[in-house]
Amino acid sequence: MDFRFSDEQVMLRDTLARYLSDHYHFDSRQAAARSAAGWRADCWKAFASELGLLGIGVAERFGGLGGGMVEHVVVMEQFGRHLVLEPYLGTAILATEALQHGNEALAAGVLPAIANGDVIAAWAHAESGTRHGSAVRTRARAVSGGFLLSGRKALVAGAPWATHIIVSADTEAGPTLFWIERASAGVTLHESPTFDGGRTADVSLDEVFVEEAQLIGAPGAAMPLIDRLNDVAAVALCAEATGATARMIEDTVEYARQRRQFGQAIGSFQALQHRMADMYMLHEQAVALTQMAAMSMEAEPRTRALAVSTAKAHVGEAGRRIGQGAVQIHGGMGVTEETAVGHYFKRVTAIDLQFGSTAWHLRRCADLCYPVAA
């Protein structure tokens, strides 16, 4: 595989890196995370109007740029470098992917609004008491003209900012995806902050009416798309984690050059040089596996799943070891609120818990490689 970015992808990376360096400093990010809003609406509008990020994954037939998973990896890596709070994953990646694969008519009306930054979406599939990707407990009862949804979705990332939510629910035909407005009668959000500075919410659905036109795909046929969306999200988070680990390594090397003990910089100590070299190798392996997974998204489901789980498992372990090394080399400074490295460690720890942990993806790899005979 050729892992080199195209000229257009390099331009995207460099343009976004310059914007975030100028407008998304660590202090402003922390101020936004602690604010009542929890994010920066001005940056979201800039992502849409100035940078065109929100239309990257939108097909050209819907007025978008027609990019794919590799372009999303470029964006998410830069977001990881700057601890970006805004809900790009749920909106520009998962909602765009779901609509284009599940409901062309709905996509034609919604995707231009996503690209413009007017529609913000959240992915609501996880439920309390169920394992990652397991059975759906939320129920959808068929009525005249549509369905009534009842249930509760857990820890829906970005839900406090969403205008719409993609909800998985079980119909008589089987699991189905629905596109619902957050303002619909019967939708209640129970918001909470996350330890890495983000915002999430449990979403309660009490007889929420959804028209048939708001279905994403045919009733009962959603599991292949759900599996694909979970894999897409896992790869995007891997890319974000590689951006965060890159910053941890850079900050740690710079600190080791400046911090002095016994009359010399601690970066000259061979033991710490070996530690930082190991951190760098873990990061480079994570980058390569993430790029391979991104390039495998259009492969057949088993090949895609194996590439994604291999990447997610390694990225989770690499994030833990790099984060521990970065904090330990910083010493007591590494766990203070004022030092960025601890916040990057929190973010990669949170990423490991989203869309399947390291242990879950290792088990998935084993099951794919050595399936149990029926």
At 129 the pLDDT is 77
7-119 shares its CATH topology with 223-369: no
**DSSP 3-state assignment of 37?**
coil
CATH number 2.40.110.10 given to 122-216: yes
Whether residue 4 is predicted with pLDDT greater than 60 in this model: the reply is yes
Rg of the chain (C-alpha set): 21
Q: How does pLDDT run across 360-369, given as a tens digit for each residue?
A: 999 999 999 9
The reported pTM is 0.95
Task: Name the one residue in this structure whose structure tokens are 């994030």.
Answer: 319
Helix 301-330 × helix 223-258 angle, to 10°: 20
Boundaries of every domain in the chain: 7-119, 122-216, 223-369
Average pLDDT score over residue span 42-52: 96
For residues 155 and 148, the answer to whether their CB atoms sit within 8 Å is no
Residue partners of 357: CB distance under 8 A and separation at least 6: 132, 316
The DSSP annotation for 44-112 comes to HHHHHHTS-GGGTTS-GGGTS----HHHHHHHHHHHHHHT--S-HIIIIIIIHHHHHHH-HHHHHHHHH
Least Cα distance to 5 among 307, 14, 315 occurs for 14
Q: How does pLDDT run across 107-136, given as a tens digit for each residue?
A: 999 999 999 999 999 999 999 877 776 678
At 133 the pLDDT is 60
The DSSP annotation for 169-232 comes to EEETTEEEEEEEETTSTTEEEEEEE-TTS-EEEEEEEEEEEEEGGGEESSTT--HHHHHHHHHH
Q: How does pLDDT run across 230-280, given as a tens digit for each residue?
A: 999 999 999 999 999 999 999 999 999 999 899 999 999 999 999 999 999
| % of the chain exceeding 70 in pLDDT | 98
Q: What is the CATH T-level fold of the domain 7-119, as seen in this structure?
A: Butyryl-Coa Dehydrogenase, subunit A; domain 1 (1.10.540)
CATH number 3.30.40.10 given to 223-369: no
Q: How does pLDDT run across 129-140, given as a tens digit for each residue?
A: 777 766 789 999
